[in-house]
Structure 1
Amino acid sequence: MATRILVAFDESSQSTAALRHALSTYPDAEVLVLHVNDPREWSTGDGMDGFYYSEEAFERSKESAERLLAEAEALAGEYDVEVETVAEIGRTAPTIIRCAEERDVDHVVLGSHGRRGLARFLLGSVAERVARRSPGSVTIVREEEPADG
Structure 2
Amino acid sequence: MASRILVALDESPQARAAFRHALSTYPDAEIHVLHVNDPREWSSSDGMGGFYSEDAYERTQQSAEQLLDEAAEIAREYDAAVTTNTTVGKAAPGIVRYAEEHDVDHIVLGSHGRRGLSRFLLGSVAERVARRSPGSVTIVREEQSDREA
TM-score by length of 1: 0.91
Q: Could you tell me how far apart the structure 1 residues matched to 2:100 and 2:121 are?
A: 28
In the TM superposition, residue 141 of structure 1 has moved relative to its aligned partner by 0.1
Q: Which residue of 2 aligns with 1:12?
A: 12
4+ long deviations beyond 2 Å: 44-47
Q: Which residue of 2 aligns with 1:78?
A: 77
Q: Which residue of 2 aligns with 1:2?
A: 2
Q: Could you tell me how far apart the structure 2 residues matched to 1:84 and 1:143 are?
A: 23
Q: Which residue of 2 aligns with 1:30?
A: 30
Q: Could you tell me how far apart the structure 2 residues matched to 1:111 and 1:51 are?
A: 29
Equivalent residue letter for 2:139: I
Q: Which whole-Å deviations, capped at 9, do the CAs of 1:39-82 have from their partners, x for residues lacking one?
A: 011114787xx611100000000000000000000000000000
Equivalent residue letter for 2:85: V
Q: Which whole-Å deviations, capped at 9, do the CAs of 1:91-128 have from their partners, x for residues lacking one?
A: 10000000000000010000001111111111110000
Q: Which residue of 2 aligns with 1:114?
A: 113
- Structure 1 unaligned segments of length 5 or more: list them: 145-149
In the TM superposition, residue 2 of structure 1 has moved relative to its aligned partner by 0.5
Over the aligned positions, Cα root-mean-square deviation in angstroms equals 1.5
SS at match of 2:32: strand
TM-score by length of 2: 0.91
- Structure 2 unaligned segments of length 5 or more: list them: 144-149
Q: Could you tell me how far apart the structure 1 residues matched to 2:112 and 2:56 are?
A: 25
Q: Could you tell me how far apart the structure 1 residues matched to 2:89 and 2:112 are?
A: 21
Identity %: 72
Equivalent residue letter for 2:8: A
Q: Could you tell me how far apart the structure 1 residues matched to 2:52 and 2:129 are?
A: 26
Equivalent residue letter for 2:40: R
Q: Could you tell me how far apart the structure 2 residues matched to 1:93 and 1:42 are?
A: 18
Q: Which residue of 1 aligns with 2:135?
A: 136
Q: Could you tell me how far apart the structure 2 residues matched to 1:84 and 1:91 are?
A: 21
Q: How many residues align?
A: 142
